[in-house]
Every structure is written in structure tokens, then in C-alpha cells.
Structure 1
């Protein structure tokens, strides 16, 4: 039961963060639209963006966490499953099975690639400070010219 509570709390945290990003996007949308709502338009006119971002973030985290619990492994496939679940939300919003499949494939593949490549940390993640400095010295070494 603890894993389920952890999944739900993590999904809630991610939904809150993604909702904050949705608020930012909604604010930008409200800024470029012409209407007489003023700042209230962030909620009344483009507020669906906030909910959509929050739902995408929450569903992704819940799907990833549930896949981890069910499969018993912590790997990139869990991110693909969570991404697929979140991507399907775009199709559900537009009432299209084709968009659900495309969203699942696109977001699932993107999240799988992100996780499988080490979350874009690069090759210096496991190196010590001295190893990084040595690489820097070798990389920026001046070539000796004989003239």
C-alpha cells in the first residue's frame, strides 16, 4: 500500500509543477490574444491549458510509477509506458483514436529515449573533478606548429 501512496503523492507533485508550467503558457496565450477579459482571461479563456499540463504531468508520473511497481524493474520502459499514457491524453482531448495512438507513440518514444540515454547528463556524469580537468586540458591543448 505504501507504493501506491508514493505513486499518488509523486503524481500530485508532478501535476502541481506541470500545472505551474501550464499557468505560464496560459499567461503567454492570454497576452497575445485580443479580448476584454484582462488578466482574468488566464483562467477564463486559456485556463484549459493549465489543467491540460497538470493532467499530462500527473498521468505521466502515475503511469511510470505504476509500471515500475507492476513490472518490478526501474528502467526506461517505465518512462515509455508513462509517456504513452500521457500522450494518449492529447487524443482524448481531441476525440481522435489516431491522435491518441500518435501521442502515445511520440511521447512514449521521447521519454524512453530521454531515460535510456541517461537523462541528457552526458559523458561527464560519473567522472571526478580531476578527470574533467584533464579532459579539458587535452581538449584545449594548443597544437605545436613547426615553422
Structure 2
């Protein structure tokens, strides 16, 4: 599903269940990889099947955290009808609170809420992998570059 773009300013609702399932399965795969590494380091004489029985909580923990983040971020975006950094902050905070609940620690939950929420909001605010210029057209990008590189306009003119 697409999200709000600078060009049309129309929000397209995100698919909650599909996005949550995809992220949950992806994070379960990461948890499985980490559980396999834990199994190989801790017990050299065990079989691969013990990854699920002995370290299953690692797999389910990662799946839970990925699913909670995506579900919270998607619900927040759909309620607010916008796709911005606040959704990432709310999703990250919900994930951090879940970490605190699993550890039975209010302090860890609050710290993880602030930490994960802050990191995810910074990531979303910076334009994710696309950068701050994600929704700008070529003229806006050129003007932004000129404001950053005031004394080096010849670099911009060469583009």
C-alpha cells in the first residue's frame, strides 16, 4: 500500500493484517537465526531440533516485537490519516513497553519506550532509507542544496 506523498497529499489506508503478518514472519526469521547461533555457541552436542524447544522464546519474542511495532504503527497511521514520524514513535514506544512487560520491569519498559520510539521517529523523520529529500521535486532539492552549500554553488550547477 502506498502512503501520503508530497505530490497528491491523499492518504491511502494501510493494510493492517497483511503488513503485520509479513513483519511478524520476518522478525520470527531473525529470531530463528539468533536462536540457532545461541544453540551452536552454548551446546555443541545438541541437535538442531533443540533450537525450537530450548530457544523458542527468542523466536517468539522477536516475532512479537516486530508484529506489535507494525500493528501499532499501521493503526496509528490509519487513525491519523497521515504517514509521518509520529507513527514510528508510537510504534517504537509500544514495542519498548512490550519489552518492559516481558522483563517485568517498569524502568526497562520506560527506557525502551523512549529509546526505540526515539530511534524510530528519527529514522522516519529523516526519510527512512530515502533521506530528507524523499518528497521534494527537483527544484526544491536544488534549493535545499544551495542553502546547505552556500559557498559551493558551482558544485550544484555542475549537476
Q: Give the match's secondary structure for 2:67.
A: helix
Q: Which residue of 2 aligns with 1:17?
A: 26
Partner residue of 2:95 out of 76, 86, 90: 86
Alignment of 1:1-147 (within 5 A): 6-34=15-43, 36-122=45-131
TM-score normalised by structure 1 residue count: 0.77
Answer 1 or 2: which has greater helix percent: 1
* Structure 1 residues without counterparts, runs of 5 or longer: 129-137, 139-147
How many pairs are equivalent? Answer: 128
Relative distance call for 1:23 and 1:66 in structure 2 (3 A) is same
Q: Which has the larger radius of gyration?
A: 1
Provide the aligned C-alpha RMSD in A: 2.4
TM-score normalised by structure 2 residue count: 0.71
- Contact 2:34-2:58 within 8 A present in 1 as well: yes
Structure 1 residue runs of 4+, over 6 Å off?
123-128
| Counterpart Cα distance in 2 of 1:36 and 1:65 | 44
- Contact 2:97-2:109 within 8 A present in 1 as well: yes
Higher mean C-alpha displacement, 27-36 vs 116-125: 116-125
